Structure 1
Amino acid sequence: MSPPVPRPPAAAVLVASLRFLTLPLVLAPLALAGCGAEPDAAAEPVAALTAQQTPAAAADAVEEPAPAAPTPASDPIAAANAAADQPRVAPASPVGDGMVAVPGGSFRMGTPDPPRLHGDESPVHEVTLSPFWMDETEVTNDQFAAFVAATGYVTAAEKPITREDLKGMVPDEFLANIPEEGLEPGSVCLSPTFDRRMAAYIGENPNLVVQAGVWQMQDGANWRHPEGPGSDLIGKGDHPVVHVSWDDAVAYADWAGKQLPTEAQWEYAARAGHAGREYPWGDVLLPEGEDGKTEHRANIYQGKFPFEDSGADGFTRSSPAKAFPPNDWGLYALSGNVWEWCRDWYRPDYYATGPNVDPPGPEDSFDPNEPNLPKRVQRGGSFLCSDNYCTGYRVASRMKGDPGTGSLHCGFRCVVEDVDAWKNAPRWTAKPTANPTAEAAGAPAEPTGAE
C-alpha cells in the first residue's frame, strides 16, 4: 500500500491512502457490484430512472498497445513473451475448437421477483437471439499468455497510474502532493486488514464494504501476479485470467477475432434452454448427487463474507476452468469462479427500454449510485460470492464495473457471431509454444495450442 496523503474531509470516510483516492474510479463499482450486492438505488422504479440525465458513452475503441518490456526469466510467462519473436502462423483449428455452438431462440430474461437490492433484474421480458458460438470456458492464463506473446500487450494493471488518470477523481489541489511512489501499477485485491466490526454488517448494508476497507489497491498485482508480488501462475495455466479490465478483454477478443458476449447472450447461454432456473444446473444451490450427498456445482464462497471461506467446494481462490461439470449446453463455470465482462454498457432500466431481438445493450451508461462514472456489465459471480452478501452466481444476477479497472475475481469469455467471417478473417497468432507455467515450475514443456 502507498503512504497516506491528505484527503478532503468529505471523502475521509472512505480511506486515506492514494490508492483509495481512486475509489470513485475503482473501489465503489467493485465493492458495490463486483461481489454481487446491488445498492439500494438500483431498486428504484424503472420509470423514474428513464427520465434521469445520462453521461455520454465513452468510445469503444481500444488503443494500440505499446510493446511490453522484456520479461525477467524468472517470470512465469517469460517463455510466452519470448514467443513473440517467433514466426507467426494462422490458427490451424476451425471455429468450434474450445467453443460451443449456441442455438438461436427465444427466452424470458430476468427475474419476476428479484431479491432485495436486485431491482435491475426485472421486468422479465422475452428476448430472441440469433445463433452464436461461445467459449466453453473463461479465458485462461495460458490463453491470455499466448495473446501477450503475440502482441506484447500490457494490461491496465501493469501500467503506472498517472496524475492525468486522477483528474476529476481527486481535487486539483491534491494532485501536486501525490508522491511518485503512490503511482505504482497495481490492481484490486482483498485487504487483510479490513475493519472486522464494520464488516459484520455488510449483509444488512452493502455500502459498508467500502467503509470497512474490504478492498485495497495492491501494488504489483496483475494477471501475472494475481495476489501481488511474490505470487505467480505456476500450476494455474488452466485457471481463468484475472486482473483484466474491460478494455483488456476487448483487446484480447479483437486479437482472437471474437467479441465479448452481450448480456442477453450470456444469460441465454447460462440458462441452456431451461426457463426460470435459478442456477445453470437447476433451482437448488447444493443438489443431491446419486449417492445422496450434496454436491457443489460452482466455486463460490462458503462462509460469512469477508471473514472466512471454508473451501468446502475445494477452493478458496480461483479454480481450473473445468473444475465443475458444464451446463446442458457444454459451457463451464457460468456460475462462480470469476465475474465475466459483457459487451453492454450498464443501465438499470434497460430491460424495460431495450429491443427484444438481439439486444446490443444501451448506447450509454447510467448507474444511479455513480451517475458520472460509466460502467460495463459483469455476469456470473465469483469465488467471493456468498449467500450473506453476494448472490451473483444466480443466472439472472446483474453487476457492473468501471471498464478501465480489473480485480482479483474478474475475467471474461468470448463469442463469435458471424462464423463465416471469423473463418475468413486475416487474423494471426503466435506459433504454439511451450507451456509457460510448466516451464517456470521446471516441468517438461508441452505444446499449448494458440487460438
Structure 2
Amino acid sequence: MNRILGSALLVSLSLSSCKMLKNRGSNDRNDGQIVSKTSSTWTPVRPKGMVPIPSGSFVLGQTDYDFTRTNDAPVKTVTVTGFFMDDTEITNSEYQIFVNYVKDSIARTALANKAESLGFDPMNPNVDDSGIGAYAYISGSADGEGTPYDEYLKQSNTGRDGQNLDTKKINWKQRLEWDKYKYPDVDYAEVMEGMYYPPEERLNGDRRIDTRKLNYSYVTVDQTAAAKKRGTFRVDFRKEHSLNIYPDTTVWVRDFNYSYNDPMHQDYFWHKAYANYPVVGVNWNQAAAFCDFRTRYHNTALANKKKRAQQVKVISYRLPTEIEWEYAARGGLENAPYPWGGPYLADDRGCYLANFKPKRGDYLEINDGKKTGYMYTAPVKTFRPNGYGLYDMAGNVAEWTSSSYNRSSYLLSSSLNPSIPTSGESNMSVRGGSWKDIGYLLMVSSRDWENKDSARSFIGFRTVQSYPEGSKINYRRTK
C-alpha cells in the first residue's frame, strides 16, 4: 500500500513539475534555450574628473640612459589593462569632502548613541523630532521606519557581540546644527561640545574641531593571502582598518629645518586660496582610506536614486600600481624621458613644462615669461597635460602608488599587469617627482619610495578605477 502511495505521489510531483516548466515557457516566451540577455559590449560611465587609459603594451624602465649597478629600472616589455585615472592629483577641496564626511558621521553617531541612551527607540516612527531624538538611529528602509527585517535582526542577535550593525543606521537626512547658539537642547549641546578641543587646549579661546577624533574605519580582504590558502574561511583574511584621516599639516615645518614655512602650515589645507592645489601631508594609509571612501560615497549616491533596480555598484576606486602609473605618465609615447616627450624640460620659448626645482637654491620655475612661478606647489592644470590628458605626471607633487618598493621588482614581477604584493611591506613606491626635486626625478622611469606611515609636503596621490576588457570607450588623445 505504501509503495502504491509513494508511486502515485512521485507521478503527481513529476506531472506538476512538467506543468510548471510548460507554463513558465509559455508565460516567459522561453523556448528552453539558455542564452545571455546582456549585450556583448558594455559602456562604463566615465567618473567625473577622470580620463580613460587604453590597454596596451610598452617598454618599461630606463630606456634613455645607460646606468650601471645602480639601475633599479631595467628595460622590460609589459602589458597593462585599461583603466580610468584622475586627470589631476586629488586636491585640497576634494580631500576636504572626505574630512567633512568623517566629521559629520562621527557627530551623527554620537548623537544617535546619546538618543538611544535616553530611551529614544530607533524603530519608532513617532520619535520626538524637536531635539536630539531627531538624530536617533533609523531603519535602512526607504522611509527610515522599522521593518520585519529589523525586528528579525533584533531577535536573532546576529553579528559580533550579539549586535548586527544593520539594525543601526545613521540619520543623514536630519540637518546638523553647528552654531552653538542654535542647539536644539542640552543633550545635543553636550554631544557637539565633545567634537571640539577641550577649553584647556584652545588657543585664545578659538573653538576648533578636535582633529584627533576624525577616524575612519573600513574593512578589506587580503586577496593575496587568500589565494595561497584554498578552502579556508573568508574571515581569516578579513582586515579591519581604523585610522585618523586628517592631513599632517606640520609637514611644511618638519620637512625643512631652518626654513620659515609656518604660513603654509597654517593655511595650505583649509584656506580657500589653496582649494585647487594638490593635497599633501597624506600618508599611504590615508590615501588608501580615501579610495575606500570614494567608492562608498559613489555607491551611496547611486543607491539613493529613484531607479535603484537599474543601478550597478561601481568598480572600486584604488591607487594605481607602479607600472600603471608609468604607463599612464608616458601618455602613449615610447622611449620618451618625460610625459611631454623631451629631451628638454622647457619649451621653445624657454618656459618650464613642469613645477620642479630648476637650479640649486632656485625653486621658482618661469612659467609665463614674466618671472612668475611657484615656490611650492602649483594649482592643478597649471601646466600642459600629456597625451592621455593627465596633468602633473611630472613635478608639482610626487604620488603614492599601490606597489611596494623593491629594487628587483621589475625582474620579479609578471609581464602581465605587473605588481608586487603589498602585504607586510612598509616601503611604498612613489613616482613623478615634486616641486622640490631636480629634473632627474621628473623622468617617467625614475623610481623613488617612502614609508607608508610617512606624510610629506611633497607627496600627494591620484586614484584609478579599472574597467572590463572589451568595454566600449571613447578615447581622446591630446596633442
> Normalised by the shorter chain, which TM-score bucket?
0.5 to 0.7
Residue number among 275, 298, 307 corresponding to 1:237 in the alignment: 275
1:310 maps to which residue?
364
1:396 maps to which residue?
445
Alignment of 1:64-83 (within 5 A): none
1:229 to 1:259, Cα distance in 2 relative to 1, 3 A? same
Q: Distance in 2 between matches of 1:262 and 1:276?
A: 20
For residues 367-389 of structure 1, the C-alpha deviation after alignment (integer angstroms, 9 at most, x for no partner) is xxxxxxx20110000000124xx
1:379 maps to which residue?
431
Report the Cα offset of residue 419 of structure 1: 6.5
Q: Secondary structure at the match of 1:252?
A: helix
Q: Distance in 1 between matches of 2:212 and 2:437?
A: 28
1:96 to 1:239, Cα distance in 2 relative to 1, 3 A? same
Q: Distance in 1 between matches of 2:364 and 2:379?
A: 18
Q: Which runs of 5+ in 2 are unaligned?
A: 1-43, 107-210, 214-247, 296-316, 368-372, 470-479
Q: Secondary structure at the match of 1:239?
A: coil
For residues 11-34 of structure 1, the C-alpha deviation after alignment (integer angstroms, 9 at most, x for no partner) is xxxxxxxxxxxxxxxxxxxxxxxx
Alignment of 1:295-334 (within 5 A): 295-304=351-360, 307-313=361-367, 314-334=373-393
Report the Cα offset of residue 121 of structure 1: 3.6
1:386 to 1:365, Cα distance in 2 relative to 1, 3 A? farther
Write the letter of the residue equivalent to 1:375: N
1:115 to 1:385, Cα distance in 2 relative to 1, 3 A? farther
For residues 402-424 of structure 1, the C-alpha deviation after alignment (integer angstroms, 9 at most, x for no partner) is 1111111110000001379xxxx
CA contact (8 A) 1:120 1:349 kept: no
Identity %, equivalent residues: 30
Q: Distance in 2 between matches of 1:309 and 1:148?
A: 31
Report the Cα offset of residue 284 of structure 1: 2.4
Q: Distance in 1 between matches of 2:52 and 2:334?
A: 19
Q: Distance in 2 between matches of 1:185 and 1:294?
A: 34
CA contact (8 A) 1:242 1:408 kept: yes
CA contact (8 A) 1:346 1:362 kept: no
Report the Cα offset of residue 312 of structure 1: 2.4
1:250 to 1:351, Cα distance in 2 relative to 1, 3 A? same
Alignment of 1:202-241 (within 5 A): 227-229=264-266, 232-241=270-279
1:185 to 1:308, Cα distance in 2 relative to 1, 3 A? closer
2:79 maps to which residue?
128
1:254 maps to which residue?
292
Normalized against structure 1, the TM-score is what? Answer: 0.53
Q: Distance in 2 between matches of 1:380 and 1:117?
A: 22
1:412 maps to which residue?
461
1:118 to 1:247, Cα distance in 2 relative to 1, 3 A? farther
Write the letter of the residue equivalent to 2:442: Y
Report the Cα offset of residue 239 of structure 1: 0.7
> Which structure has the bigger radius of gyration?
2
Q: Distance in 2 between matches of 1:117 and 1:386?
A: 21
Alignment of 1:45-194 (within 5 A): 94-112=45-63, 114=65, 119-152=70-103, 186-187=250-251, 189-193=254-258
CA contact (8 A) 2:73 2:446 kept: no
Report the Cα offset of residue 315 of structure 1: 0.8
Report the Cα offset of residue 361 of structure 1: 2.1
- RMSD across aligned positions (CA): 3.1
For residues 320-369 of structure 1, the C-alpha deviation after alignment (integer angstroms, 9 at most, x for no partner) is 11001100110110000001000001100001111010113245577xxx
Residue number among 397, 412, 424 corresponding to 1:338 in the alignment: 397
Report the Cα offset of residue 283 of structure 1: 1.8
Q: Distance in 1 between matches of 2:69 and 2:454?
A: 23
For residues 183-242 of structure 1, the C-alpha deviation after alignment (integer angstroms, 9 at most, x for no partner) is x98436442527xxxxxxxxxxxxxxxxxxxxx9x9xx8xxx8x3236553311111000
Q: Distance in 2 between matches of 1:138 and 1:233?
A: 18
CA contact (8 A) 1:114 1:122 kept: no
2:207 maps to which residue?
none
Q: Distance in 2 between matches of 1:233 and 1:419?
A: 40
Q: Secondary structure at the match of 1:392?
A: helix
Q: Distance in 2 between matches of 1:159 and 1:120?
A: 42
1:18 maps to which residue?
none
1:348 maps to which residue?
407
Residue number among 315, 321, 332 corresponding to 1:273 in the alignment: 332
The structure where helix makes up a greater share of residues is 2
1:36 maps to which residue?
none
Report the Cα offset of residue 397 of structure 1: 0.7
Report the Cα offset of residue 150 of structure 1: 1.6
Q: Distance in 2 between matches of 1:295 and 1:262?
A: 31
Report the Cα offset of residue 94 of structure 1: 4.4
For residues 272-315 of structure 1, the C-alpha deviation after alignment (integer angstroms, 9 at most, x for no partner) is 111111000012233434xxx223211111221xx342342411
1:294 to 1:409, Cα distance in 2 relative to 1, 3 A? same
CA contact (8 A) 2:61 2:73 kept: yes
